[in-house]
Structure 1
Amino acid sequence: MDKSFEVIVVGGGFAGVAAVKALGRSGVKVLLIDRNNYHQFQPLLYQVATAQIGVSDVTRTFRGMFQRYPSASVLTANVAAVDVQAHTVTTTDGDTFHAKILVLAAGAAANYFNTPGAEEHAYPLYSVTDAVRLGNAMVHALDAAQRNGSSGGVHVVVVGGGPTGVETAGAIAENFKYVIPKYYSDGVAANSSVHLVDMVPNVLNAFADKNKAYAARHLQQAGVRLKMGSGVTEVRPDGVDFADGTSLPSQITVWAGGLKAGAVVAGSGLDQGRGGRIDVNPDLTAPGAPGVYVLGDAANMTDARGDKLPQLGSCAQQAGKWAARNIRADLTGGQREPFAYRDKGYMAMIGRGAAVAEIGRKRIEMQGPLAFLAWLGVHVVLLSGNRQRISALISWADDYLTHSRSHVVLGAPRD
């Protein structure tokens, strides 16, 4: 394989894929390096974990995505080191690749904030592997509860009241309420519980008050028990302890408490800001490293007014396209331009037919079925291929009408 390229992109998330596609359309010789050979749609991983959709609905191979672009290559490898001054990437296989321009879009990892036991005992939800592992643990716990008879139940604690935590807790609660009774004895569902916990006083703390209240009310109606305003001090194999001296039993603790930049960024030598991410220049380049761009969850980006931009898939996707535009300018002697983010707002799925949304820069507020339809529309558009879109729509329709779970959670057998 050739080891010299015009551009190397490290990481195949929303930003990395968008950059490679845009560069490939222009005939730029670009190499994507990722540990996986597929793109994963992270906003729907909680639905994989709860068997609402299948793994194939949220994954698509990079080679399939880029087959129309002869100048784009893919390398499946783990990155050992990047040299932001020399513009080189070295893999764990010992190979070193060089580019005129380097793009770091390697995503993020769970941020446990040094909470004792969290990394060892909690389940993050940032990759397909994480989703399958969590789903597999849920199945094992339910099977164990069934063996224990009518007194057995599964207790789940979801840490983090942001969109990921809210969506995950809502999906698990609806499983306990509607799906589990179809497949397990009545006692398993009746004795199971899901708690959503956070140190802040409200769920969806960044949303408007009306949407916060709607989300909290609907979660509680679905069976989610809220414990807000007290931070987690320890995660144990059988429970979670809190700063107020209380504790909750938990066979499964899901960690949705925040993200930090991954190891590639941490080892790059670039100055790290909030969350370990790089505070990039307005044109998405890294300060002090000419010819290096940092995108997506690896970057702290701001708009023209200096306001912090959200860590959202749509923002990362726009950043990838914009970076490609600036890279083309770099390669042809043109002028880079500051990133102009088109603010599409925020949204979160709460449960069956229920969601909240704040659309656009003016934050037009929606709750309930209308927000649910908006959520569906946005996520269908963001999915990476037509097959994935059609399959997800069929799965959602089947789930909405029947509460069936035809998807199988694949994982390691019980020890």
Structure 2
Amino acid sequence: MDKTFEVIVVGGGFAGVAAVKALGRSGVKVLLIDQHNYHQFQPLLYQVATAQIGVSDVTRTFRGMFQRYRSATVLTAKVEAVDVHAHTVTTADGDTFHAQIMVLAAGAEANFFNTPGAEEHAYPLYSVTDAVRLGNAMVRALDAAQREGAESRGVHVVVVGGGPTGVETAGAIAENFRYVVPKYYSDGVAARSSVHLVDMVPSILGPFSDKNKSYATRRLQQAGVRLKMGSGVTEVRPDGVDFADGTSLPSQIVVWAGGLKAGAVVAQSGLEQGRGGRIDVNPDLTAPGSTGVYVLGDAANMTDARGEKLPQLGSCAQQAGKWAARNIHADLRGGTREPFAYLDKGYMAMIGRGAAVAEIGRKRLQVQGPLAFLAWLGVHVVLLSGNRQRVSALISWADDYLTHSRSHVVLGNPD
């Protein structure tokens, strides 16, 4: 493989994929390096963990995505080091690649905030591997509860983090206990099980309006989710969670949706890190103190033209990838970079069957219930990476909604 390129993109998330596609269309010689050979659709990983959709619905190979772009090359490898001054990337097998311009879009990893026991005992939800691992744990816990029969205490799940990921995960697990588990498990396992959503802040869905927060809280409680807000987690144990107010909750499974931080590639890059270990990028998405280095997606803290912080959303990362490609093209062809102009599409979160909240556009048009649910479906169908994935996901959602069945069985090796 050639080891010199016009552009190297590290990371194949929303931002990295969008950048490679745009550069490939322009005939720019670009190399994408990712430790996986596939793109994963992170917003729906909780549905993989709860067997609502299959792994193949949220993954697509990079080579399949870029096969029409002859100037784009894909390398499956773990990045060991980047040199932002020399514009080199070294992989774990010792190969070093050089480019005129470097793009760091390596994503993020769970931020456990040094909480004792969290990294050892909690289940993050940021990759397909995480989703399958959580799904396996749920199945094992349910199987164990049924074996114990009437003596079982059920399966108790604590979801840490009241943002969209935590809310969607807690709602999906609660609906499984309510509608799906009774179809597959006897002996009242579901009735003895519980889901708690916890966070140190006083309410769920921080960026949303009070109206949408109230609606989401009410619908979660109707689904059986118990909320414990306003007290932080101080320790995660194999059999429970302790809180700052001195209380505790028993649990066999703790899902960690309590925050993200930039990954190791960014941490060792030598670039100055800001909130969440991310890089506070310039308005044109370049890294301060460097030349020809862009940082995108969950690896970056981005702002709009007014200096307001932009959200860590897939749509924002996707737009940033396309915009960075335009600026990179200008760099290579002698043009002028332009500051990132983000099109604010708003926020949304799924609560459960037929229930969601959305705040659409910069003016934050507030929508709740079935209409927001349909909007959520539409946005996520558009964002999925391929037609096969879109069709398969729609079929899975329709089957799940109409029958409460789980045709997607989570299988894998035990921890």
Range into which the TM-score falls when normalised by the shorter chain: over 0.9
Match of 2:119 in 1: 119
Q: Deviations over 1:19-56 (max 9, x none)?
A: 00000000000000000000000000000000000000
Match of 1:244 in 2: 245
Shift in Å at residue 186 of structure 1?
A: 4.0
Report if aligned partners of 1:8, 1:33 keep a CA contact under 8 Å in 2. Answer: yes
SS at match of 2:329: helix
Q: Deviations over 1:55-75 (max 9, x none)?
A: 000000000000000000000
Match of 1:36 in 2: 36
Query: Counterparts of 2:283 and 2:412 in 1: how far apart (Å)?
Result: 43
| One-letter amino acid matched to 1:341 | Y
Match of 1:158 in 2: 159
Match of 2:212 in 1: 211
Q: Deviations over 1:256-295 (max 9, x none)?
A: 0000000000000000000000000000000011000000
Query: Counterparts of 1:3 and 1:87 in 2: how far apart (Å)?
Result: 12
Match of 1:132 in 2: 132
SS at match of 1:220: helix
Identity rate of aligned residues, in percent?
89
Match of 1:365 in 2: 366
> Over aligned residues, Cα RMSD in angstroms?
0.6
Correspondence 1:103 to 2:96 = no
| One-letter amino acid matched to 1:128 | V
SS at match of 2:158: strand
Worse overlay, 182-191 or 133-142: 182-191
Match of 2:144 in 1: 144
Gaps of 5+ in 1: none
Report if aligned partners of 2:327, 2:338 keep a CA contact under 8 Å in 1. Answer: yes
| One-letter amino acid matched to 1:254 | V
| One-letter amino acid matched to 2:142 | L
| One-letter amino acid matched to 2:261 | K
Report if aligned partners of 1:240, 1:249 keep a CA contact under 8 Å in 2. Answer: yes
Shift in Å at residue 150 of structure 1?
A: 2.0
Q: Deviations over 1:295-316 (max 9, x none)?
A: 0000000000000000000000
- How many positions carry a matched residue from both structures? 414
Shift in Å at residue 408 of structure 1?
A: 1.2
Q: Deviations over 1:115-161 (max 9, x none)?
A: 00000000000000000000000000000001010232100000000
| One-letter amino acid matched to 1:109 | E
Query: Counterparts of 1:295 and 1:282 in 2: how far apart (Å)?
Result: 12
Query: Counterparts of 2:151 and 2:406 in 1: how far apart (Å)?
Result: 24
Output aligned runs, 1:334-345, within 5 Å: 334-345=335-346
Shift in Å at residue 413 of structure 1?
A: 4.5
Report if aligned partners of 1:151, 1:187 keep a CA contact under 8 Å in 2. Answer: no
Question: Normalized against structure 2, the TM-score is what?
Answer: 0.99
| One-letter amino acid matched to 1:78 | K
Query: Counterparts of 1:184 and 1:92 in 2: how far apart (Å)?
Result: 45
| One-letter amino acid matched to 2:135 | G
Structure 1 residue runs of 4 or more that deviate by more than 3 Å after TM superposition: none
Match of 2:191 in 1: 190
Correspondence 1:302 to 2:303 = yes
Correspondence 1:386 to 2:382 = no
Report if aligned partners of 1:66, 1:72 keep a CA contact under 8 Å in 2. Answer: yes
Query: Counterparts of 1:126 and 1:351 in 2: how far apart (Å)?
Result: 20
Report if aligned partners of 1:124, 1:255 keep a CA contact under 8 Å in 2. Answer: yes
Shift in Å at residue 187 of structure 1?
A: 1.5
Query: Counterparts of 1:158 and 1:386 in 2: how far apart (Å)?
Result: 32
Correspondence 1:408 to 2:409 = yes
Shift in Å at residue 357 of structure 1?
A: 0.2
Question: Normalized against structure 1, the TM-score is what?
Answer: 0.99
SS at match of 1:149: helix
| One-letter amino acid matched to 1:299 | A
Output aligned runs, 1:312-351, within 5 Å: 312-351=313-352
Report if aligned partners of 1:151, 1:188 keep a CA contact under 8 Å in 2. Answer: no
